[in-house]
Structure 1
Amino acid sequence: MKKLLIGAALGALLLPASVAVAQVGGEDHGHGCIDESCSIYELFQTPPDGGTVLGYQGTEAPSYGTWGFNLDGRDTSVRPGESFMRYANGAALDRLQIPSDRTSYGSFNLLRELSDNRVKVMIDALVARTDLVPGSDEQKIADAYRAYMDEDRIEALDAQPLQPYLAAIRAANTHEAMAVYMGQTQGRVGASIFGTGITTDQKAPTRYVVSTGQAGLGLPNRDYYLADRWAEKKALYRAYVERMLTMVGWEDPAASADAILAFENRIAEAHWTPEQNRNRDETYNEYTIAQLAAEAPGFPWQAYYTAVGVGDVPRLIVRQDTAMPTIAAIFADTPVATLQAWEAFHTTDQAAPRLSRRFSDAQWEFRSRDLQGQPMQRPRDKRGISFAEGMLGEAVGRQYVAEYFPAASKAQMEELVANLRIALSNRINTYDWMGDATKAAAQEKLAKFTVKIGYPNKWRDYSALEIRPDDLFGNGERAGLFRWNYQLNRLNQPVDKDEWGMTPQTVNAYYNSTNNEIVFPAAILQPPFFDPDADPAVNYGGIGGVIGHEIGHGFDDQGSKSDGDGVLRSWWTAEDRANFDALTARLGEQYGQFEPLPGFRVRPALTMGENIGDAAGNAVGLEAYHLSLNGQPAPILDGTTGDQRFFYGWAQVWQSKYRDDALRQQIDTDSHSPAEFRVIGPVRNVDAWYDAFDVQPGDRYYLAPADRVRIW
């Protein structure tokens, strides 16, 4: 359960939370690189036993051909207009298997494994050293990993680390005491029915502000409680709650589980939908603590915020303001014994990965196997790498950059970004749906974009974080409190514009509206996204599409509500905004027809921002590629045109498979469309795609020219 809100400012690039590689951490398959000369291809060599290589059958490893795309990975028996994913990636997808410890697999995962393999080599080397300086970042990384791998001690402790928490929960025997306890869980295991965090103020982005919103659910979102199609998962959750309470010796676990489910079901009914939560106009509501207490009585707000550490703030932002009175009333109406059992369960659930095997296995069985269909748990060493990275991500990243990120990659990225800027600027001037005043404001915003590539200019200081080689549970608690104190200490400081929201070893990218910035970590600047030796068309389709996607977030249905200085305000004329909304509605109608699994259609209002980003990535990326040719014709390579190679580059980065349960969860909870529709959704709206692949009326995804949506 999330207690720390990130807010609505970040538009992450590509990876859905339910099936994607995490921002920090990852998995290792036993391969490794020693120095910078080790390429992605060398990592994917056949293992000695001739078995599966990173999810691919037999002895075949992924290949990007001689110019960045392997034509042998296509399925040319399928017309491009029938399924461009199959046409471009079909043979490669047929060879691709989802490893047993994954819920999805594809291009992102492969590149993430390269990053993880490198981190594994780095951490193994640190663990082997005897000359590390006590208290140094290197020593802390090694000790964090050692603590996670000390299974004998972890098994001996079993549930012992939880006992002080469970005792404190039992002692909180009034409603106010429970609210105080919820506030005290900030930065450590435990839960609250409201999520509170420190974010950049969207209407005054030079300062930080306290933000509060709905929370309290143990399932992915409200739909899992209220929609009949999730009834089976809800029943499995109820059994999991009882199982965890039984394991910690909680009183009457069966009855407590029933009460917890009923409590969370009531909260779910009050929650805003995922679509509502995207609306930045509706989720920015200024309150004082006294005003919130007056409008949402039943919850001791002042006592809660004091326990959180922000009880003296003059103002805060309430996201789902209309949900607060109902959730507060539910809290007041719920017996303290139920609140205590609820807190005991969520504390145990969150702590499980740092407890003995019976706890960690139980959590994996429900959250990964039952919810997302993952057959096997990741090996412990992979989880240990994730854990160390999660606590000391930038310390790991600093070493990663020093060893694996060439300066030449940053220089070439800067050139690509420059061309994408020019391309979008040119396109803005041609739009007939936008008036001159709005065009000028859009150009101003584009000119003010900040670009961050590779790694931050300054690194996080971890000197105040204590890590012990024999205290896994305590390490996690101290790291959580370290992060929360870092947030608290920012409240009266100016916004740090140099801060990054991802580590350099992360395979992802993002747009931050309050900073009006696009950010590309080092680890994504590698094949298949970016290869300095690949044909430029493939790079423009890959990383160029990613750049365009992130720039597009600044002009999507929500990002376009902030100006070039990151201020949430309307900089559009009413007529131009109405024209924009009409275009996005037409795009939503297209995506609403996509049905990845029976009964599970793409939710266009939930995915709109990412869909607009993808559309921008294609349209602007292709124009930037054409600009890069400087008026010269694109070469023909292996019978392919430049435009064809551009679209192949885009399709290649979405080469992936999902387990059905993971895909269902993504559709109902995540703002990203499934990979197949991130391929076809944008390209069918680009005229050049039709010409490049002879897509004709009668093809499944053919759109008449008048029906093609051209936004950015």
Structure 2
Amino acid sequence: MTARPLAAALSVAMLAVLSMPAADAAPKKKAVAKTAKVTAPTACNDFYAFANSGWLTANPPTPGVGTVSALDQLRQRAHQQQIDLLNGAMSAPQGAVQKLLGDFWASGLDEAAVERDGANPIAPLLARINAIKRAKDIPPAIAALHQVGIPVAFNFSADVDLADTNRHVGYFTEGGIGLPDPAFYSRTDAETREVMDRYRAYVQKILALTGTPQAQVATEAQQVIDLETRIAQADRPLAALRDPRANYAAVPTSGLAKQYKRLQLGDFLKAQGVTDDQVSMPNPTLFATLDNYVAAISPEQWKTFLRWRVGDAMAPYLSKSWRDANFDFRGRVLGGQVTPAPRQESVLDAINLAAGPMLGREYVARYLPAASRTQAMQIATQVRDALSAMVDRDPRLGDAAKTEAKAKLAAVSIEVGAPRRDLDYTVQPMGRGSFGSNMLIASTWRHREEMRRIGRGNADRRWDVLPQQPALTYDVPQNRLIVTAAMLQAPVFDTTQPSAALYGAYGALVGHELVHAIDTRGRLIDSHGAARDWWTPAESTAWSSVLGRVASQANAMPYPQLTGVRVNGMLVGDVLLADQAGVEIAQAALLAAQPGAPKEVMQAFYTGWAHLWPEQLSVDEATARAASSAYPPGRWRTDLPLMNQPAFGTAFACKAGTPMQPKPDVQVRLWP
């Protein structure tokens, strides 16, 4: 089954653990036992430890656990909320959508029913494939599998039109074969050969489960691998797929039927419900190759390949023999997993994959109070306006860049909770008898709704993240801020805290993301959605200079938990710069909303920021992150941006030259 990649919201790092040396008691009479003096953290020497002392005490390091953080706990809470919602929908559904979800959930949890069901859910798909007799029967079978969410031979998905960001087009791209990297089929090194041997064994197991006699299973598995190898030879390398511009090539749909007559691409689009006038096809060589293969490769070999694709895609949702075969290769070999996920986890993952927007709709209704949504919109709007005002006094930007930046910020769409457009939840009833069948029903529904996004005026139909998954992100192509319902809870949006703390946590994260509308990312797309660089070389150099100063600050900081290791400023500088931008912008928004705020208000603001980042990491995890993570450790995500704020020193009466209040000539400011 397929789904678009989901946007990840936030990453976190780690914390230094304080320890007390053992007391040194002298044996002599009347001697006084000497105890190492421990200095408690203060707001002026380590605000991270000071503000998070309660959390750090309540969450000590745990042997065998690589990491725990406040944001991890938010994600775990959102995960449990989904389970609670599904359990409620299973026992007492409220409305038609909950009835669908409750039945889907119940069918997945009933392992005995899944075992009894065996391969029955895919029997109709296999019967259609087995009925293929001629070459012209192959393309309709491919189109039908795409309709149920099983890509075959290629991928076809909806995404933003890079030439017109107000619309979506269909993208014909690589995919639809069994291995994630086409290079697997051509490399000859020992490691790749071992993977291919394991892959061949996996293909044999799946084909046997779909009905291939044991005497023929090796031959048919080789037919699958031979056909996939041919397709892979026409695919582009993975490295070539990383640049969105290189993967966009608009072509009119009117010529597809004639140009790819044997592959029947015109009929394929009709089967998907697509009537748009253009699609993107950046690799026409692949589709010309497939067009030839429809006639050049025997229908029997195609049938074997199609049966394999159905079995491989549906194996996680069928009986144990299917699941075990799938996990042994995709879980152990490709994923490096030791044991399969618990049943409840795998069923929740399946529901999010096939019916995620349904679950998101109910999640928002249950867990997002209207008042929180309204307040989140208000703060985000104030932060956007504060950033626009800061652009006016930005010494790095010229008049033209300022005009463009302000126009872009004025056009930012702020979307909180869930996508603005709801979906059509007309779905075939699921029932509780067949988890695999429900998976196909839900996947068919989700594919249908994805295809409906294609066309003009449809760019805002969907997010790349689900409402029940914590995320706060800036969507560069569509110039919109996305805040999911799951993100609006502690520590990001803790309504039990003073409103200033909401600005310090949620507001600063909004600022962190919105600055991307006008920084080195946002400079490449203008306020009209056109791809162009609206910065001058001098403006670029000025921004890089600030980035360099922030990176230099980070370079001087010890990496918590590690001896003799410092933070790599060039690795984490971009995130730290956005963090500092977020704090400065949110602080300006707070002061605009509450002019002359007393020190208690500002203290709550800075404490809200600190409460985002407490964490405990093992030494191994810290070592790995210090070497490769673009995200700074939690201590420095808290302290470094605040060290650069004169207002922080005022709020906590920190003298110049203390760790949290360096002298003014050392501090870095983005805006005067």
Using structure 2 for the length normalisation, give the TM-score: 0.72
Equivalence for 1:239: 198
1:324 offset after TM fit, Å? 4.8
Q: Distance in 1 between matches of 2:568 and 2:458?
A: 34
Equivalence for 1:208: 168
Q: What residue identity is the alignment partner of 2:73?
A: L
Distance change (3 Å), C-alpha of 1:189 and 1:286:
closer
- Residues 374-431 of structure 1, C-alpha deviations (whole Å, 9 max, x = no match): 5443332343344445544444444444443323322332342133223312332233
Equivalence for 1:197: 157
Q: Distance in 1 between matches of 2:574 and 2:231?
A: 29
Distance change (3 Å), C-alpha of 1:216 and 1:395:
closer
Q: Distance in 2 between matches of 1:706 and 1:569?
A: 37
Equivalence for 1:381: 344
Task: State yes or no: 1:95 paired with 2:58.
Answer: no
Task: State yes or no: 1:426 paired with 2:389.
Answer: yes
Task: State yes or no: 1:569 paired with 2:537.
Answer: no
1:589 offset after TM fit, Å? 8.9
Q: What residue identity is the alignment partner of 2:10?
A: L
1:271 to 233, 238, 242: 238
Task: State yes or no: 1:286 paired with 2:250.
Answer: yes
1:188 to 143, 148, 167: 148
1:442 offset after TM fit, Å? 0.8
Residue aligned with 2:172, SS: strand
Distance change (3 Å), C-alpha of 1:684 and 1:170:
farther
Q: Indicate the percent of aligned positions where both proteins have the same amino acid.
A: 20
Q: What residue identity is the alignment partner of 2:204?
A: L
Q: Distance in 2 between matches of 1:610 and 1:307?
A: 45
Equivalence for 2:470: 507
Distance change (3 Å), C-alpha of 1:331 and 1:540:
farther
Distance change (3 Å), C-alpha of 1:369 and 1:571:
same
Q: What residue identity is the alignment partner of 2:148?
A: R
Q: Distance in 2 between matches of 1:491 and 1:143?
A: 30
Task: State yes or no: 1:145 paired with 2:105.
Answer: yes
Equivalence for 1:688: 644
- Residues 503-547 of structure 1, C-alpha deviations (whole Å, 9 max, x = no match): 443322333345432122222111111112225565344322331
1:479 offset after TM fit, Å? 1.8
Q: Distance in 2 between matches of 1:365 and 1:659?
A: 30
2:311 to 348, 351, 355: 348
Contact map agreement 2:388 2:409 (CA 8 A) in 1: yes
Q: What residue identity is the alignment partner of 1:545?
A: A
Task: State yes or no: 1:485 paired with 2:441.
Answer: no
Contact map agreement 1:108 1:507 (CA 8 A) in 2: no
1:159 to 94, 119, 127: 119
Task: State yes or no: 1:522 paired with 2:485.
Answer: yes
1:329 offset after TM fit, Å? 4.9
Contact map agreement 1:225 1:268 (CA 8 A) in 2: no
Task: Give unpaired runs (5+ residues) of structure 2.
Answer: 13-37, 561-566
Contact map agreement 1:13 1:549 (CA 8 A) in 2: no
Equivalence for 1:55: none
Residue aligned with 1:192, SS: coil
- Residues 254-283 of structure 1, C-alpha deviations (whole Å, 9 max, x = no match): 64686578568746763334xx62x45444
Task: Give unpaired runs (5+ residues) of structure 1.
Answer: 17-71, 597-601
Distance change (3 Å), C-alpha of 1:560 and 1:180:
farther
Contact map agreement 1:453 1:519 (CA 8 A) in 2: yes
Q: What residue identity is the alignment partner of 1:649?
A: H
- Residues 290-332 of structure 1, C-alpha deviations (whole Å, 9 max, x = no match): 88899x99994736844753786432224xx3x5536865996
Q: Distance in 2 between matches of 1:629 and 1:224?
A: 60
Q: Distance in 2 between matches of 1:410 and 1:352?
A: 40
- Residues 235-254 of structure 1, C-alpha deviations (whole Å, 9 max, x = no match): 45751552243243152176
Q: Distance in 2 between matches of 1:339 and 1:585?
A: 55
Task: State yes or no: 1:118 paired with 2:85.
Answer: no
Q: What residue identity is the alignment partner of 1:495?
A: N
Residue aligned with 2:314, SS: helix
Task: State yes or no: 1:630 paired with 2:592.
Answer: no
Bigger radius of gyration among the two: 2
Q: Distance in 2 between matches of 1:338 and 1:592?
A: 59
> What does 1:314-333 correspond to in 2, within 5 Å?
314-318=277-281, 321=282, 324-325=284-285, 329=289
Residue aligned with 2:165, SS: coil
> What does 1:291-690 correspond to in 2, within 5 Å?
300=263, 302=265, 305-306=268-269, 309=272, 313-318=276-281, 321=282, 324-325=284-285, 329=289, 343-455=306-418, 459-491=422-454, 494-495=457-458, 497=460, 502-535=465-498, 538-565=501-528, 567-570=529-532, 572-575=534-537, 578-579=540-541, 616-625=581-590, 627=592, 630-635=595-600, 645=607, 647-652=609-614, 655=615, 675-676=631-632, 680=636, 684=640, 688=644
Using structure 1 for the length normalisation, give the TM-score: 0.68
Q: Distance in 2 between matches of 1:657 and 1:620?
A: 30
Residue aligned with 1:551, SS: helix
Contact map agreement 1:226 1:269 (CA 8 A) in 2: no
Residue aligned with 2:396, SS: coil
Root mean square deviation of aligned Cα: 5.7
Q: Distance in 2 between matches of 1:148 and 1:492?
A: 35
Contact map agreement 2:273 2:452 (CA 8 A) in 1: no
Distance change (3 Å), C-alpha of 1:624 and 1:139:
same
Residue aligned with 1:632, SS: coil
Residue aligned with 2:146, SS: coil
1:472 offset after TM fit, Å? 1.9
Q: Distance in 2 between matches of 1:677 and 1:358?
A: 43
Distance change (3 Å), C-alpha of 1:363 and 1:618:
farther
Q: What residue identity is the alignment partner of 1:428?
A: V
More helix by share: 2
Equivalence for 2:16: none
Contact map agreement 1:195 1:212 (CA 8 A) in 2: yes
Distance change (3 Å), C-alpha of 1:313 and 1:537:
closer
- Residues 443-476 of structure 1, C-alpha deviations (whole Å, 9 max, x = no match): 1111122222234556433123432321222222
Q: What residue identity is the alignment partner of 2:311?
A: T
Number of positions where the alignment pairs a residue of Structure 1 with one of Structure 2: 623
